[in-house]
Chain A
Amino acid sequence: MNAIRVVRPGFQTSVQDLGRFGHAHQGVSASGAADALALRAANLLVGNAENAAALEMTLVGGAFEFESEAVVALTGSDFAAGLPLWTAVELKAGGVVRCGASQSGARCYLAVRGGIDAPKVLGSASTHLLTGVGGRALRAGDVLPIGEAAVRRPKRGSVAPPQFSRDVLRVTAGPQAEWFGDELYQGCYTVQEESNRMGLRLRGPAIPSPAGMMLTEGVSLGAIQVPPDGQPILLFVEHQTTGGYPKPAAVISADLTRVGQLRPRDTVRFELVTLDQALAWLQEQERWLYSLI
């Protein structure tokens, strides 16, 4: 069988694709890759459809044995695998990709030509770690069959990864923006240890939060909510579908890739931009991505 065997799972490795859509009204958030841009790039490099399932590693990577010849690509942060990043690499049968601790950001993606043939739950192979919808984090001994998601030839040579600093996150105004002053844009905020795929807890100068009555309402990926203690929480891929805290801003789609690479103790500042600017940066990012085909 053409499969990947998990020799060592690493700190928290899961199967992810681009997410599970269409079930928010049942309380199910999309989940999917924390750095979707890196996952899509890894898939395009090995010649897969961009939504193919791949492995997402967090902070400390694992070791994965390939039973047959395979073409793989590592993207995202440098997890010291001894293989070139952002490059399609051929492995021999029995080859092992051994990753270590991150040398840069929070996440590294390992895509294989053909994709991982994980069972789809509600239309997606992505793992929602907190609820168990779509499975669980990988364990040593797990065997992952390789699928048939290859749609074109692998990309030759390496590509220059997108360059950006992680210390500025650009945001657009949130639904309760007028309840807030500009405090969110004044200070530096540090990512706390208790952050995860559901949300990033930030700590910095307290933001006066209008503790007024607000009805629970739907929340978006990247929304920044401010509870009464004034310390913002950035809602991420496994976010709750609804919430009752006011939201001064939301991270723009083009910067979600940066959020997926933030580690505990990293610091960020927020910069307010317009919807038109947000769209222009997203289009620029998409042009870079499709240059990989």
Chain B
Amino acid sequence: MVRSAVTVTIRPASDSSLLVSFGDAISLDAHRQVLRLMHSFAEPPLGIRNLHPAFASVLVDFDPRRRTHEDVESLVRERFAGTSEISRPERRVVEIPVCYGGEFGPDLADVARHTRLSPERVIELHASAEYLVYFLGFSPGFPYLGGMPPELATPRLSAPRKRVPAGSVAIGGAQTGVYPMESPGGWRLIGRTARTLFDPAADPPALLEMGNHVRFVPVKELPR
């Protein structure tokens, strides 16, 4: 069987890191290659400090006192070639109960106005989709989700809030996400969950893992 070759480009991002890219578009295929590379480094060799996955790339951070760019590049190519694509990864769907609107979703009305939908329809659409966790990034436990119905897209706030409560479920442009911890943020808040997305004392600390699927389940109130 002939398979299309995977195009991998590797270039230095700093004197202690390499950026491994699988194209420049968000796609399921690129996501699978990112997962494959992450799996190939499940047991990180000495001197590899951190792996930063994203939509179509992985930044490999290494200790320049132990490793060189050439050395890490051949390690990446070797491990990547030696790991088969995960054909049918175990499918994990994580349900996240969300209390939409009211005090927890102060921007639900704005999203409804912008999208010319009723608030009820916004909730229905948001909770009807199954989202793919492309990767966790930006801040601890923050999931980059794909799969939001395009009609829900709403621009970010012109001035970000100084304080967005932990568990806030929000829409920013064509993306949706959950803030794992209190932080500043410019996305539109439509609800809140009581589930903990990041707990440094837990193992693993993050509720979600790249490749997981997420469903938002509307609930009337949040457990205390």
Q: Determine whether the beta carbon of A22 is less than 8 Å from that of B15.
A: no
Q: Which chain A residues in 171-200 approach chain B with CB under 8 Å? A: 172-175
Q: Which residues from chain B sit less than 8 Å from chain A, CB to CB?
A: 11-17, 19, 21, 24-26, 38, 44, 49-59, 61, 64-65, 68-69, 135-142, 144, 180-181, 183, 198, 200-201, 204-206, 210
Q: Determine whether the beta carbon of B25 is less than 8 Å from that of A134.
A: no
- Provide the bound-state CA to CA distance between A218 and B137, in Å: 8
Q: Which of B138, B183, B206 has the most CB of A within 10 A?
A: B138
Q: How many A-B residue pairs have CB under 8 A?
A: 150
What are 7 A-B residue pairs whose CB atoms fall within 8 Å in the complex?
Answer: A24-B51, A26-B205, A27-B206, A132-B181, A217-B55, A253-B14, A253-B15
- Provide the bound-state CA to CA distance between A216 and B55, in Å: 7
A279 at the interface (CB under 8 A from B): yes
Q: Which of A27, A30, A131 has the most CB of B within 10 A?
A: A27
Q: Which residues from chain A sit less than 8 Å from chain B, CB to CB?
A: 21-28, 30, 121-122, 130-134, 172-175, 215-223, 240-243, 247, 250-253, 275, 278-279, 282-283, 286
- Provide the bound-state CA to CA distance between A62 and B2, in Å: 67
Chain A residues near B204 (CB-CB < 8 A): 26
- Provide the bound-state CA to CA distance between A30 and B49, in Å: 9
Top 5 closest A-B pairs, CB basis? A218-B52, A218-B59, A250-B14, A242-B137, A24-B50
Q: Determine whether the beta carbon of A275 is less than 8 Å from that of B15.
A: yes
Apart from A25-B51, A131-B181, list 7 A-B contacts with CB within 8 A: A25-B136, A172-B14, A174-B13, A220-B13, A221-B14, A223-B13, A250-B13
For B20, the closest partner residue in chain A by CB is A218
Select which of A23, A243, A278 is within 8 A of B15 by beta carbon.
A278
Q: Determine whether the beta carbon of A134 is less than 8 Å from that of B137.
A: no
- Provide the bound-state CA to CA distance between A275 and B144, in Å: 32
Q: Determine whether the beta carbon of A253 is less than 8 Å from that of B16.
A: yes
| A172 with B15, Cβ < 8 A, contacts A25-B52, A218-B54, A275-B69 known | yes
Q: Determine whether the beta carbon of A241 is less than 8 Å from that of B14.
A: no
A120 shortest CB reach to chain B, Å: 10
| A27 with B138, Cβ < 8 A, contacts A131-B181, A215-B55, A219-B52 known | yes
B56 shortest CB reach to chain A, Å: 6
B50 shortest CB reach to chain A, Å: 4
A219 shortest CB reach to chain B, Å: 7
Select which of B11, B17, B140 is within 8 A of A133 by beta carbon.
B140
- Provide the bound-state CA to CA distance between A172 and B140, in Å: 28
For A131, the closest partner residue in chain B by CB is B140
Chain B residues near A251 (CB-CB < 8 A): 14
For A133, the closest partner residue in chain B by CB is B200
Q: Determine whether the beta carbon of A220 is less than 8 Å from that of B137.
A: no
